Amino acid sequence: MIDAHIHADCRPYEDFERMAVAGIESALTLAHDPMRMTTPAVVLDHFYRILENDFKRAKSNGIILKAALGLHPRSICQDYKLVLRKLPWFLDHDEVIALGEVGLETASDLEREVFRTQLQMADERDMKVAVHTPRRNKREITIKTLSIIEGNIDPALVVVDHVDPSIIDLVADFKGMLGITVQPQKMTPTEAVELLEGTFDDYGPERFMLDSDMSSSPSDPLSVPKTVHELKLAGWDDKKIEMLSHQNAAKFYGL
């Protein structure tokens, strides 16, 4: 299994052991806002923390960890342009396989500018992008997010994450990937199965991937294995479960 969206820097060492014991073999950790991201130095130290610390913690527990780095909409500091100038250097690291997580939180003009800039950066590098969708005003902001994606990058390079019943219809014709986040206060494993029952085949079984988004928010490092268990109980075919929990993410991210 692959957990396609975590925030490893927020989690204790023991969580990686739990994930490995439950059958998770690899995961993608993404940049976000683990603290007040007030200056470029704080943001860049967050990137360094991922590169210099979290890979080792995961590896020592048998998890292959890769990273996506970028300027999260809640991490746009005052001198954000310095971060954007230095970002390509971080993206050149072998362990960094995507740009993210990026997107819109409130859809302010500044967020849109930073989002567009990073999408264009990824498009020029033919690099995959993990795109955030917010908890609040989710539908309204997702519409704006999709519009910006369409104008600035090949959608085939993009995964729109945290897809739930409130926006699933908006991404029916989206040409990229869809992340299903199973996390307390977002979606339970049972709710994820219910969502997938009506969309997996119709939307294209190759487009979905599971993740836990485990972070400092209420989280469960076993969200993906628990969802796989619920899929089995619901009678899902093993091939479809493998696509959803491993194959699609592995192909998209090259894991």
Tens of pLDDT along 120-136?
999 999 999 999 999 89
Per DSSP, which regions of 21-176 are E strands?
Answer: 26-30, 64-69, 96-103, 128-132, 158-160
Average confidence score pLDDT of the chain: 96
Of 30-44, 80-94, 177-191, 221-235, the poorest mean pLDDT is in 30-44
Sign of the alpha-carbon dihedral angle for 92, 97, 99, 105: negative
In the predicted model, is pLDDT for residue 36 greater than 90? no
* Whole-number pLDDT of residue 255: 86
Closest by CA to 54, choosing from 77, 78, 21, 27, is 27
DSSP states of 8-55: GGGS-HHHHHHHHHTT--EEEEE---SS---SHHHHHHHHHHIIIIIH
In the predicted model, is pLDDT for residue 17 greater than 90? yes
The overall pTM is greater than 0.85: yes
- Which residues, including other chains, have CB under 8 Å from residue 206's CB and lie 6 or more apart? 243, 248, 251
* Whole-number pLDDT of residue 162: 96
- Which residues, including other chains, have CB under 8 Å from residue 193's CB and lie 6 or more apart? 227, 230, 231, 234
Which DSSP state fits 244? I
211: left (phi over 0), alpha (psi -120 to 50) or beta: beta
| Radius of gyration over every alpha carbon of the chain, rounded to an integer in angstroms | 17
Write the CA distances from 166 to 39, 77, 135, integer angstroms.
34, 30, 10
Binned at pLDDT 50, 70 and 90, residue 76 comes out as very high
Q: What is the mean pLDDT of residues 110-121?
A: 98
Write the CA distances from 201 to 12, 208, 236, 240, integer angstroms.
37, 10, 12, 9
Write the CA distances from 204 to 1, 130, 184, 190, 192, integer angstroms.
20, 19, 26, 21, 16
Q: Cα separation of 192 and 221, whole Å?
A: 16
CA 163 distance to own-chain centroid: 11
- Which residues, including other chains, have CB under 8 Å from residue 41's CB and lie 6 or more apart? none
Binned at pLDDT 50, 70 and 90, residue 34 comes out as confident
* Whole-number pLDDT of residue 35: 82
Q: Cα separation of 131 and 149, whole Å?
A: 9
130: left (phi over 0), alpha (psi -120 to 50) or beta: beta
At residue 138's C-alpha, the angle toward residues 200 and 126, to 5°, is 65
Q: Cα separation of 224 and 210, whole Å?
A: 6
